Amino acid sequence: MGSITLKNVSKVFGAHAVIPSIDLDINDGEFVVFVGPSGCGKSTLLRLIAGLEDVSDGAIVIDGKNATELPPAKRGLSMVFQSYALYPHMSVRANIAFPLKMAGEDKAIIDKKVADAARVLNLTDYLDRKPRQLSGGQRQRVAIGRAIVRQPEAFLFDEPLSNLDAALRVNMRLEISQLHQQLKTTMIYVTHDQVEAMTMADKIVVLNRGRIEQVGSPLDLYHRPDNLFVAGFIGSPK
Ligand code: ADP
Ligand code: MG
């Protein structure tokens, strides 16, 4: 069950309060998009949730349990990065299996989970290839496959499509939305792209200078922006 609550979460780097204080509720199964201009703190907020950065103050509650002090591997979350971070010398199969191997799973279970993930992601015919023999979209799917096999409480995506060309980006957007409909797992998706936010989100969190300007559905933000920043950001094309 992937509910995530942030209570008074702040992050200070040196003298710079990148995130002064954030409260946020994410419900189990929701597709939540963090959107805002470059440098507003989206990645930092995601990394705090993932446990890749420590909070300066406040608490992170995952599935009803205080996770503030837990290391990333104990939070039950899977992060998908923009740069794929695939192992170039390993096959697609081995790349997807990697987190399960590290966790010491049985081979039979690994094989089944990898086959299931490959089917969901249309990678069944590519399992014996190396990453360099794949297209950008296929590589991104392998990275998602590696997140899926861990059966996380939630997926965290940090601008996963920004290295892809425009046509492929539209495709992958649809694929990730379909994946969410299939798995019904909580997803937090970071982007600076208003179109991605408007088309993918159940709930959009608009960030500006480390603060939440507004939380709402795409329609809420479009029709009832709380302030000029939200109106300008959601209303204007990139
Ligand atoms: P976004 O993902 O929205 O582009 P980031 O979360 O990457 O923004 O960065 C927000 C702010 O925090 C930026 O001003 C950035 O320079 C600063 N920042 C991020 N990580 C660090 C760090 N490890 N040390 C110091 N400053 C950082
Ligand atoms: Mg970022």
Distance 148 CA to ligand 2 centre (A): 22
Of 238, 210, 233, nearest in space to 10 by CA? 210
pLDDT tens for each residue of 187-223: 999 999 999 999 999 999 999 999 999 999 999 999 9
Among 10, 18, 48, 49, say which to mutate for ligand 1: greatest number of ligand atoms within 8 Å of CB: 18
- Report the nearest-CA residue for atom 21 of ligand 1: 13
- Report the nearest-CA residue for atom 5 of ligand 1: 41
Predicted-assembly ipTM surpassing the 0.90 threshold: yes
User: Any idea which ligand is nearest the CA of 47?
Assistant: 1
Distance 206 CA to ligand 2 centre (A): 14
Distance 61 CA to ligand 2 centre (A): 22
Give one DSSP letter per residue of 18-67, joined into a string.
EEEEEEEEE-TT-EEEEE-STTSSHHHHHHHHHTSS--SEEEEEETTEE-
pLDDT tens for each residue of 161-189: 887 888 888 888 998 999 999 999 999 99
Ligand 1 nearest atom to the CA of residue 36, by list position: 3
User: Any idea which ligand is nearest the CA of 34?
Assistant: 1
For residue 221, what are the contacts with CB-CB under 8 A and spacing of at least 6?
Answer: 204, 206, 214, 230, 234
Greatest CA separation found in the chain?
55
What letter represents residue 166's amino acid?
A
Spell out, as residue ranges, where the chain has pLDDT lower than 70.
83-84, 236-238
What was the pLDDT predicted at 238?
46
What was the pLDDT predicted at 165?
84
Run of H or E residues at 213: strand 211-216
